[in-house]
Amino acid sequence: MAERFAGRVAFVTGAGSGIGRATASLLALEGARVFAVDVNRDGLSETVGSIRAAGGQADGTHCDVTDPASVQTAVERTVAAFGGLNILVNVAGIGGFLRFEELELADWQRTLAVNMTGAFITTKAALPHLLTPPAGNVVNVASTSALRGVAYAPHYAASKAGLLNLTRSLALEFATRDLRFNCVCPGGVRTPLGRFFIRREDFEAHLIDYAAPPKPGNFADPIDIARIIAFLASDDARMINGAALTADGGTLA
């Protein structure tokens, strides 16, 4: 396969695990120079180490996407190391089930800070570089939770719906400046995050059973989502802008 990302620099958040790691690895395999960031230092070095071991180009740093100074430093390090920043992939995220009575303001604020405001902060920091040719783009990892209500996870669903409409709004605002913004909306994916979405005894089961995919047990692996992210980030998706690409095996169909 031709290297779709030769000459491109990709900045991937949440790259120390799950979907972020799979995305960083796939983009590097297809020729991108990848700058990986995460708050998980061990996971991050594993990602960077495995990309390099496979012959790819990667660097990375500890970075909390909720902290503008931390993000600014990471973006500057990317540009210093690789000479630019063309593709921004916002994967970092947190979540899990909680009854509304147990959901504290701090949980609400932290979830919105990481899942929604984090993408605002990284986009602001990367923007001058994204606007520098060749045409740049941003892929945000939302969720099917952006597209419907989720019992026991209003904080998560609100953060992802906010992320989706941030994406759509920026897609419109930057369409004339060759900068695309898209979302992937996965259903269930086998990653460490999934353990926070376990149904509890005290939940009304029928309120969350809707989430069962039409093919039982049809959860995605991180690489399935990474392939969709890579497609959206590539020139193959030149005409896709402001999309919410659902990747749930048909659950919402």
Cβ closer to ligand NAD: 112 or 179? 112
The answer to whether residue 210 is catalytic is no
CA distances for 76 relative to 72, 89, 157, 159, 232, angstroms? 6, 16, 32, 27, 25
The active-site residue out of 5, 11, 152, 156 is 156
Q: Among residues 215 and 238, whose Cβ is nearest to ligand NAD? A: 215
Cβ distance to ligand NAD smaller for residue 105 or 239: 105
Q: Report the nearest approach of ligand NAD to the CB of residue 3 (Å).
A: 25
Residue 189: CB minimum distance to ligand NAD, A:
4
Q: Which is nearer to ligand NAD, 112 or 237 (CB)?
A: 112
Q: Which residues are near ligand NAD by CB under 6 A? A: 13-14, 16-20, 38-40, 43, 63-66, 91-95, 114-115, 141, 143, 186, 188-189, 191-194, 222
Nearest approach, Cβ of 25 to ligand NAD (angstroms)?
A: 13
For residue 6, the minimal CB distance to ligand NAD (Å) is: 26
Catalytically active residues are 156
